[in-house]
Amino acid sequence: MLKVDELKLALDADAGIVRAIDGLTLALSRGETFALVGESGCGKSMTALALMRLLPDNGRIEAGRVSIDEGAGELDLLGLPEARMREVRGGRIGMIFQEPSTSLNPVLKVGRQIVEAIEAHTPLRGAAARAKAIEWLRRVGIPEPERRIDDYPFRMSGGQKQRVMIAMTLAAEPDYLIADEPTTALDVTIQAQILDLLRELQAERRLGVLLITHDLGVVRGMASQVALMYAGQIVETAPADEFFAAPKHPYARLLLQALPDAGRRGEPLAAIAGTVPPLWESFRGCRFAPRCDRAMVHCANELPELSEEGPAHRVRCLLYTDRREALPREPVAERARPAAHPGDGPPLLEVRDLQVRFALKQGLLGGAKQWFEAVRGVSFSIRPGRTLALVGESGCGKTTTGKAIVQLLRRQAELRGQVLLDGRQDLLHLQGDELQAARRSVQIIFQDPFASLNPRMRVLEVLEEGLLALRPELDAAARRRTLETLVDQVGLRRDALERWPHEFSGGQRQRIAIARALAVEPRLIVCDEPTSALDVSVQAQILNLLRELQRERGLSFLFITHNIGVVEYLADEVAVMQAGRIVEAGACGAVLGSAREDYTRRLLAAVPRV
């Protein structure tokens, strides 16, 4: 077993000592999947880094023990010298990191990086190691692995880079795998393929998997045990079937109610108010109490302990210790909602026969170039106040289509066709001031928040940059008020404005990216997987926010996503994309309810459900 006993981890920060993990205990057996779930910023990823001894320079283990089986005894990982730990790290315990863009070396070909891992932890060398790397690229679904093994990471999509990371980790054949959001960047078909591969490896090699994820559908299909984490502590742990059938902690119940699907369409999701409290605070009572809908008077001053509530089911809540009456709360007044925009009239955006192709290499002696056609004659329209969801597998051209619309590919690709704004401005041909003015109307939220935020700028500067360029009429005080309102809307505390992007978790950085797009009050937002890095409760906040903005302002969305639950909840129309072309399109209910194309049916069949 891989065991963690009463682990406590602290980080030195400007605001004080951050207690990122406070008394965490868990045990992972060979052949089982243990899911660690919870909100962004609650300590899940820091737990993974602690187990691998990959803490940042300001982090330290204050107490506890981490051990792994070693023959007849146990090996204390926290007491190992670094040279010995390198053998364990990768060889015995592999890790798939959350952000492949920052985990892969940008100046090395992906094949060399995989071969390096194979040669470090297995007896294979040279051609044999390369052959095994190609085999693993094929197993994780990389097309043409014999050719793609010699690509650099920047030539791959986000989902393909994540698959490379998975191949690199599994090729070393570890006994235990720590998977930190391993399928976040993957579409549903590749996600299903990766999860099937993990199940196959568990059967073959008794691989133990610590699955860190916010996708409860994946947890439902994979995990045998579930631990729910909040503010550095585990608040509920139970067998997976029991957790989903009868969650006991109020936080667990609210998370399950926040999942988007067709049944909740047209009504706000059960988003959990507020955010995870800052972990440099000293807690006198329950950490979830300020956000809990069943909080009692005693919750603010009594620290709950994990108590047994059934076989292998433990919960950290005073409701299960003294069962006192809940604290009465003031009823929240229902805010009057403005009428929805019907989306009648001419389209806001009309895409006609859009083609995007990239030059691969110059021909011999300056001859004709070789081209890769990423988008092949795509056409669709979006009316004011409507949402078009663009779905399909990774690498099918969804993100390229979005970037072409907002004119981010002029220097890298050849674009043809028309992208009409308000039926008159062709964005493909705008220049200078006209293009900048059009960007006030059309904004984009990128898939990878870490790569899209300038690490040398504070959040205030990141958000203010767009206001300075596109809303010059605002003075400094008005800009500050706008930004404070924005961070409130996307679920961040206002002190986030003075911090740096690296101080936030992946989900929190995505909220910053969403705030940046909203800052200039656009009419259309291209959303490239905007909720893929968000946990369930924050996703619900963001989806509620986007719906509310759409109702109030008539905002339109091109929603690029692989999350079919989000599509069912939010989209008015759906376009299914395959190999650069749209193969099926129509009203959301019609396409998802009675798909005609085999490809669409395969996509829907691969969706994990709670």
Token pair of 233, please? Answer: 């502590």
pLDDT tens across 341-389, in order? 455 678 999 999 999 999 876 655 666 678 889 999 999 999 999 999 9
Tell me which H or E stretch contains 3.
Answer: strand 2-13
What is the pLDDT confidence band of residue 36, given thresholds at 50, 70 and 90? Answer: very high
Per-residue b/e over 127-165, b at no fewer than 16 CB within 10 Å? eebbebbbebbbbbbbeebeebbebebeebbbbbbbbbb
Q: Mean pLDDT over residues 409-433, rounded?
A: 90
Token pair of 195, please? Answer: 């999860």
DSSP state of 22: E
What is the pLDDT confidence band of residue 339, given thresholds at 50, 70 and 90? Answer: very low
Between 70-79, 187-196, 245-254, the lowest mean confidence (pLDDT) is in: 187-196
94 strand-pairing partners: 177
Q: Is 33 exposed, middle or buried (0-12, 13-18, 19+ CB in 10 A)?
A: buried
d(CA 163, CA 193): 11
SS3 414: strand
SS3 188: helix
DSSP state of 318: G
What is the pLDDT confidence band of residue 271, given thresholds at 50, 70 and 90? Answer: confident
Phi, psi dihedral angles at 569 (to 5 degrees): -80, -40
Asked if 8 contacts 19 with a C-beta cutoff of 8 angstroms, the reply is: yes
Q: Mean pLDDT over residues 89-103, rounded?
A: 85
Residue 300 pLDDT greater than 60, yes or no: yes
Asked if 516 contacts 459 with a C-beta cutoff of 8 angstroms, the reply is: no
Asked if 4 contacts 27 with a C-beta cutoff of 8 angstroms, the reply is: yes
pLDDT of residue 331: 37
Token pair of 184, please? Answer: 């976040």
pLDDT of residue 334: 38
Q: Mean pLDDT over residues 90-114, rounded?
A: 88
338: nearest Cα among 99, 96, 84, 552:
552
Residue 571 pLDDT greater than 70, yes or no: yes
99: nearest Cα among 432, 462, 506:
506
d(CA 356, CA 343): 28
Q: Residue written as tokens 């988007």?
A: 260
d(CA 246, CA 164): 37
More confident residue, 141 or 286: 286
Asked if 429 contacts 390 with a C-beta cutoff of 8 angstroms, the reply is: no
Q: Mean pLDDT over residues 528-552, rounded?
A: 80
Overall CATH class of domain 349-361+368-452+525-605: alpha beta
More confident residue, 60 or 310: 60
- Length of the chain in residues, anyone? 610
Q: Residue written as tokens 């608040």?
A: 235
SS3 239: strand
Residue 199 pLDDT greater than 60, yes or no: yes
Sorted by sequence, the CB contacts under 8 Å of residue 544 that are 6+ apart come out as 268, 269, 271
Count of C-beta atoms within a 10 Å radius of residue 57:
7
More confident residue, 202 or 65: 65
- DSSP H helices, 214-274, are 216-222, 240-245, 250-257
Q: Mean pLDDT over residues 8-21, rounded?
A: 88
Q: Mean pLDDT over residues 15-39, rounded?
A: 89
Residue 403 pLDDT greater than 80, yes or no: yes
Q: Report the phi/psi class of residue 385: left, alpha or beta, with left for phi > 0 and alpha for psi in -120 to 50.
A: left
pLDDT of residue 315: 93
pLDDT of residue 324: 52
Sorted by sequence, the CB contacts under 8 Å of residue 54 that are 6+ apart come out as 89, 95
d(CA 315, CA 227): 10
pLDDT of residue 477: 92
Between 91-100, 350-359, 383-392, 517-526, the lowest mean confidence (pLDDT) is in: 91-100
DSSP state of 234: E
d(CA 167, CA 576): 28
pLDDT of residue 267: 83
Per-residue b/e over 201-218, b at no fewer than 16 CB within 10 Å? bbeeeebbbbbbbbbbbb
What is the pLDDT confidence band of residue 333, given thresholds at 50, 70 and 90? Answer: very low
Tell me which H or E stretch contains 87.
Answer: helix 82-91
Q: Mean pLDDT over residues 403-414, rounded?
A: 90
Give the rounded percent of residues in the chain with a pLDDT score beyond 70: 94
pLDDT of residue 330: 42
Token pair of 284, please? Answer: 């006198």
More confident residue, 480 or 278: 480
Sorted by sequence, the CB contacts under 8 Å of residue 50 that are 6+ apart come out as 7, 9, 21, 59, 61, 66
d(CA 201, CA 198): 5
Q: Mean pLDDT over residues 179-194, rounded?
A: 78
Q: Mean pLDDT over residues 249-267, rounded?
A: 87
- Beta strands per DSSP E along 117-224: 176-180, 208-212
DSSP state of 140: T
397: nearest Cα among 225, 258, 148, 583:
583
pLDDT of residue 506: 67
Question: C-alpha dihedral over 118, 122, 125, 131, to 10 degrees?
Answer: -60
Q: Residue written as tokens 């099926």?
A: 584
Q: Where are the domains of the chain?
A: 2-223, 349-361+368-452+525-605
d(CA 441, CA 348): 10
Q: Is 38 exposed, middle or buried (0-12, 13-18, 19+ CB in 10 A)?
A: buried
Between 50-59, 190-199, 341-350, the lowest mean confidence (pLDDT) is in: 341-350
Q: Mean pLDDT over residues 564-582, rounded?
A: 92
Asked if 191 contacts 218 with a C-beta cutoff of 8 angstroms, the reply is: yes
Looking at CATH, the fold of the domain delimited by 2-223 is given as Rossmann fold (3.40.50)
Q: Mean pLDDT over residues 259-288, rounded?
A: 83
Question: C-alpha dihedral over 533, 538, 539, 541, to 10 degrees?
Answer: -150
Mean pLDDT of the chain: 86
Asked if 175 contacts 209 with a C-beta cutoff of 8 angstroms, the reply is: no
Residue 264 pLDDT greater than 70, yes or no: yes
Same fold, 2-223 and 349-361+368-452+525-605: yes
pLDDT of residue 344: 62
Asked if 387 contacts 570 with a C-beta cutoff of 8 angstroms, the reply is: yes
Sorted by sequence, the CB contacts under 8 Å of residue 308 that are 6+ apart come out as 314
Asked if 37 contacts 8 with a C-beta cutoff of 8 angstroms, the reply is: no
Token pair of 202, please? Answer: 């568990």
d(CA 60, CA 138): 39
Q: Residue written as tokens 């099918």?
A: 396
